[in-house]
Amino acid sequence: MRIRKLGVVGAGTMGSGIAALAASAGVPVVLLDIPSEGKDRNAAARAGVERAKKAKPAAFMDPDRASAIEIGNTEDDLEKLAACDLVVEAIIEQVEPKRALYERLEKMLPDHTIVASNTSGIPMQMLTKGRSASFKARFLGMHFFNPPRYLHLLEIIPTPDTSKETAEAARRFSDRILGKGIVVAKDVPGFVANRLGVYGMVLAIRMMEKHGLTIDEADVLTGVLTGRSKSATFRTADLSGIDVIGHVTKGLSETTGEDFSLSQWVLDLVKAGNVGEKSGAGFYKRVGKEIHTLDWTTGEYKPQTKPDNPELARLAKLPLTKRFAVIRDWTGREGSFVREYLLRFSHYVLATTPAIAYDIASVDHAIEWGYAWEAGPFKQMDLLGADFLRKGFAELGLDEPPLLRLAVNGFYSADGVHVLSLTGGYEDIPREPGVIRLAELKSPGNRARHVLEDSADASLIDGGSGVAVLEFHSKMNTLGAGVIDMVHRSLDRVERDGLAGLVIGNEDPRTFTAGADLSMVLGLIQAGDWKKLEEAVRTFQNTSLRIRQSPFPVVAAPFGLTLGGGCEFSLYADRVQAHAELYMGLVEVGVGLIPAGGGTTELLFRFASELLPYAEDDPFEAVKRAFNLIAMATTSTSALEARKLGFLRASDRITMNRDRLIADASARVTDLASDYTPPLPRTIVALGKEAIGNLKYGVWSMREAGQITEHEVRIASELAYILAGGDGPPRRVTEQDILDLEREAFLRLLGTKETQERMAYTLKTGKPLRN
């Protein structure tokens, strides 16, 4: 069955977040909450939507998508759920209210509607007591993680009564439409992620107390340093709500018989109402512009003091493999804490996994996707090594769990393709069908067959079905000379081998590309090699043009940070298959430049072409739109916003699930390949002097108001000159005419002291300079 409409009952943080995600994906939603007192009985549901619209980080990918949510209350509007194909319950974490709701739902929902609980840890079979066999067959757990838009994990918890069709429909919808990474968990308390994640949180508190650390110190040591999320332990608890953590730990203690109890000083925080971010204070508290941290020994808040240890700073910059190599032999107070914390957590994972999960890979996925770890616990145990674990367990008086005895060759094979089975031996890592994983294609066993071209900065990979994939792997995937060379080699290879086409994409978790390599540019300036600089800019422009003019389709697959030259390459691709989380922009003005890889030209021509069907429209609107987008360094906050801004066209598509992005882009190439012809060159009428005057009027107004600096006036004036096609009368121009103006302006700005200062400052600090 297809899920076309979603119902959500409970408009709290999770319910409204789930509704916002679904609406962002284009799914109509009915959102209900309990009736409110007063005239507006839907006030609770309405407040949930408004809270989601104001949430930071944003819950909606486009605030306009809030119009896809129909609100109501559970007394007057429950029948609205009858039009839904899936109803997700996200009400209070108590068994009886959930059971009472299901009893009402069973009476009015059609036979095909799936019912799911978003409970964070209550076993499903406890919730369906008293329900019919038909209801149980359509019921399962769907545990989202907060915030639903950003955390990839969705735990699906079928019961023995859940029908195969129900589980498959929920899985397909969650994967393809909502973009979730699916982990199928056993129907046990806490499922996978929270059973392990909450234990890790409780353990960190206990280890902090044992080793006499502060909260600030513990968060540094249980954060990025050890492959965990930036929010580490105590910041994560503040974001989740310490009261929620207390409720979950109490429930896990009762249902598992294990000791998840929180220390009394933590319970005292909850009693005092200091439950984290939502109350204004928890383990941390904001005082004016400062962050204060709780001194857990006295209950007082003091200004935050992170450890002043050069070794920690050095260690944090190392790759995870090297960090863990150091951790194995780390001594001193901090080292003792980290070693014992990792050993006790690893022991718990090894002992508990067979009871909560169907395979080892699911455990790692659950923690990586749900808690934003760099590598899951079994991958981290491979980094620590079996000998370290055995010796450490013995020193702590812990037994050797059976899973560790089975892992004679580690938990994962060296090629990353196989994983230890829970019953012994090795099996293929479970994969969703249709997913292309570049790392696997480049693994030692596959490399000879799949890597077509390779360099230190990029690789061309045979992705199957006649489609090649160009993957950047320079630092931040920046576009230096090595990457540009590989683009041309890749285009040559695709044409020579008669392949269907090319995808430009990669598997970096955060960055498609940060744009041009500024350090290379600054180095040429300092060397005074202006001839080579001009040649480099011309080559970059020609690379964009070649992407556009190749005799086969080129599809860009951008995601995450897609800045400067990465945005320009995407603009020049035949199609873009973007991930929903797309932060795309032409941000060159931040370093005192204008886009000169074709971005200025393409936006001008694109926006002018969009106005052609409307003879009455003012052509200056296209110029102004491009000017504002570039001058303000506007960056999209999602792919939906990128489409509104004009970085994406109506023909470009959006993939919700990051894991499927390369495969979806490859499918676009295949769609286009059979009858592909390159686009014809375009011309437009450049508006000349009059357009420059209009743009400069706005620039000088901002300067008079003190909103921009003198150098920013210079940058804006150069941009205006390009977009107007020069300062002469209106004339018809080609793309090459505007590209030439781009290049000349770029080089003039490079010659200014202010732009060079901006570039150097950004390279040093990662931040823009206003000078």
Write out pLDDT tens, residues 17-68.
999 999 999 999 999 999 999 899 999 999 999 999 999 999 999 999 999 9
- What's the CA gap between 109 and 68, in Å, rounded? 21
Residue 415: predicted pLDDT: 76
Measured in degrees and rounded to the nearest 5, phi and psi for residue 552 equal -150, 160
Q: Give the pLDDT score at 306.
A: 81
In this prediction, residue 443 has a pLDDT band, given cuts at 50, 70 and 90, of confident
> Distance (Å, rounded) from C-alpha 22 to C-alpha 26?
7
Element (H, E) at 472: strand 467-472
∠ CA 55-58-60, rounded to 5°: 110
Eight-state DSSP code of residue 658: G
Dihedral, CA of residue 666, residue 670, residue 676 and residue 679, to nearest 10: -20
**Poorest-pLDDT segment among 267-281, 313-327, 583-597:** 313-327
CB-side neighbour CA atoms (13 Å) of 195: 30
User: For residues 40 and 180, what is the distance between their CA atoms, to the nearest angstrom?
Assistant: 35
492-546 pLDDT tens trace: 999 999 999 999 999 999 999 999 999 999 999 999 999 999 999 999 999 999 9
Q: What is the pLDDT of residue 253?
A: 95
Q: Match 């009693």 to its residue by tokens.
A: 271
- Per the CB < 8 A criterion, the answer to whether 16 and 52 are in contact is yes
Work out the angle at residue 290's Cα, subtended by the Cα atoms of residues 288 and 291, and round it to the nearest 5 degrees.
120
Instruction: Identify the band that residue 615 occupies on the pLDDT scale cut at 50, 70 and 90.
Output: confident
And the tokens for 246?
């207390």
Find, among 453, 450, 415, 421, the residue nearest to 436 by Cα: 450
What end-to-end distance do the CA atoms of the chain give, in Å? 59
Q: What is the mean pLDDT of residues 95-101?
A: 97
The answer to whether 261 and 277 are in contact (CB under 8 A) is no
Q: Which residues contact 344 (CB under 8 A, 6 or more apart)?
A: 203, 207, 396, 398
Q: How far is CA 714 from CA 43, 504, 516, 695, 755, in A?
A: 51, 34, 22, 12, 10
pLDDT of residue 448: 86
Alpha helix stretches (DSSP H) within 302-356: 310-316, 320-328, 332-356
Among 146-150, 198-202, 264-268, 427-431, name the one with the lowest average pLDDT.
427-431
Work out the angle at residue 145's Cα, subtended by the Cα atoms of residues 142 and 146, and round it to the nearest 5 degrees.
135
- Cis peptide preceding 147, ω within 30 of 0: yes
Q: Are strands 114-117 and 139-144 parallel, antiparallel or unpaired?
A: parallel
Tokens representing 353 are 């996994």
Taking the C-alpha atoms of residue 19 and residue 717, their distance in angstroms, rounded to an integer, is: 45
How many residues belong to the chain?
771
329-383: pLDDT as tens digits: 888 889 999 999 999 999 999 999 999 999 999 999 999 999 999 999 999 999 9
Cβ–Cβ < 8 Å for 463, 504? no
Q: pTM value?
A: 0.94
pLDDT value of residue 263: 96
Q: Categorize the per-residue pLDDT at 723 as very low, low, confident or very high, splitting at 50, 70 and 90.
A: very high
> Are 58 and 637 contacting, i.e. CB atoms less than 8 angstroms apart?
yes
Mean pLDDT across 212-216: 95
The mean per-residue pLDDT over the stretch 627-652 comes to 97
Token pair recorded at residue 693: 């005057």
Give the pLDDT score at 707. Answer: 92
Is residue 166 within 8 A of residue 115, CB to CB? The reply is no
| Structure confidence at residue 431 (pLDDT) | 84
